[in-house]
Amino acid sequence: MIEYENLKKLNQPFFEEYKSRFDDVLESGWYILGKDVEKFEENFSKFNSSKYTIGVASGLDALVLSLKAFNFEKNDEVIVPSNTYIATILSIIHNGLKPVLVEPNIQTYNIDPKKIVEKITNKTKAIMVVHLYGQPCDMKPILEIANKYNLKIIEDCAQAHGAEYFGQKVGTFGIGAFSFYPTKNLGALGDGGAVTTNDDIIKDTIMKLRNYGSSEKYHNELVGYNSRLDEMQACFLDVKLKYLDDITNHKRNLAKIYMENLDDRFVKPIEKEGYKNVYHIFAIRYERRDKLKEYLLQNNIKTEIHYPVAPHKQEAMKNIITDNFPISQEIHETILSLPISYYHTENDIKRVVEVINNYDR
């Protein structure tokens, strides 16, 4: 059986280092906002060429607090792709703001910059981009629009740790919101997230927001939250961060095997000059996706669907998003994620290619 993912096998190479760092945290007697969080924040900033990293409790919280830091007014609008994981849209709603969905490009699966301007109104305050599956968005036209209309940029980097657009890391074009959910390219052994920024005021605000609105104990300047990355997760993340480039290179190498060998009847991800995709997910499209998924399972290959239900079709959104989004819909109906874990070998992937290319229905 080739599994889609296996979190134990994925983390096994790091077990010894995890255990040693965990022992230090245990013995230190200091478990929330201490030196391991600080150290990880510093190292992640270096990795990402960001001035600051602020550890928070999850990827969703990183998005929620990023928006909160701008102090937008109730019912202000935020542009967001119609093709994303629901968390992106939830963060806007939780801030009392209105999500304005924009269709993706059918080849990149990311927000289509050409369709943004028509959705801008005098209430639009920000564009929340999502570097989906690890593929960076086309940032140049998006930054031009943001400048022209004076909009903030928030990047959902939950699937794109280390991805680059013409040599620049994602999470440095605006505010970056990262998730360290265990399956992500940089995954913890529990929940975690971080915000990256080059702005001193945003950094100070998010440092307060994550800790009850306080920078000095028992003095609360803002209406804050409890959203802190804990010392234990930070120590695991700090270990894994050292290997993130290896993880990325391994996944890109596996992606290359798919790209070079998969039949063209399966729609492969697009690779464009200047875009460094970190392949959090290797997604193909195929018209009879469900049948293909079933066939692969019969041949002992597990796959996933990211995602089976489009945000605008979710029960929770029925009174919030009322328009139709046919491109997003089409992607949701045809997309299929193939195995591409750090623990998979080249032979695993060659086996997947062989089986899938033999599909004759």
Ligand X SMILES: *Cc1c(COP(=O)(O)O)cnc(C)c1O
Q: Is 66 in the site for ligand X (CB under 6 A)?
A: no
Q: Which of 201, 191, 158, 190 is nearest to 176 (CA)?
A: 158
Contact 340, 349 (CB under 8 A): yes
CB of 68 to ligand X, least distance (A): 15
Taking CB under 6 A as the rule, does residue 310 contact ligand X?
A: no
> Are the C-beta atoms of 218 and 203 separated by less than 8 Å?
no
Q: Which is nearer to ligand X, 124 or 185 (CB)?
A: 185
Q: Which is nearer to ligand X, 121 or 226 (by Cβ)? A: 226
Interaction between residue 95 and ligand X (CB under 6 A): no
> How far are the Cα atoms of 64, 178, 228, 329 from residue 225, in angstroms, in the given order?
10, 18, 9, 35
Give the C-alpha separation, 125 to 308, whole Å. Answer: 30
> What are residue 231's phi and psi, to 5 degrees?
-60, -40
Question: Is 311 in contact with 91 (CB distance < 8 Å)?
Answer: no
Q: Is 282 in the site for ligand X (CB under 6 A)?
A: no
Q: Which is nearer to ligand X, 2 or 57 (CB)?
A: 57
CA distance 187 to 233: 9
Contact 111, 130 (CB under 8 A): yes
CB of 101 to ligand X, least distance (A): 14
Closest residue by beta carbon to ligand X: 59
- Rounded to whole angstroms, the Cα distance separating 6 from 32 reads 29
Which listed residue (84, 196, 205, 233) binds ligand X by CB under 6 A?
A: 84
Total binding residues for ligand X by CB under 6 A? 15
Name the token pair of 259: 């790209």
Q: How far is the CB of 265 from ligand X (least distance, A)?
A: 28
- Is 184 catalytic? The answer is yes
Give the length of the chain: 361
Is residue 194 at the binding interface for ligand X, with CB under 6 A as the rule?
no
**Active-site option among 68, 125, 169, 184:** 184
Contact residue for ligand X among 2, 67, 80, 87 (CB under 6 A): 87
Measured from the CB atom, the residue of 25 and 132 that comes closer to ligand X is 132
| CB distance 290 to 144 below 8 Å | no
Task: Write the interaction track for ligand X spanning residues 24-63; mark x where CB under 6 A is met and - where it is not.
Answer: ----------------------------------xxx---
Give the pairing type, strands 219-220 and 214-216.
antiparallel
Report in angstroms how near the CB of residue 20 gets to ligand X at its nearest. 26
179 forms part of the interface with ligand X (CB under 6 A): yes
Minimal distance, residue 93 CB to ligand X, in Å:
14
Which is nearest to 52 in space by CA: 43, 64, 61? 43
The contact set with ligand X (CB under 6 A) reads 58-60, 84-85, 87-88, 130, 156, 158-159, 179, 181, 191, 193
Catalytic residues, which ones?
184
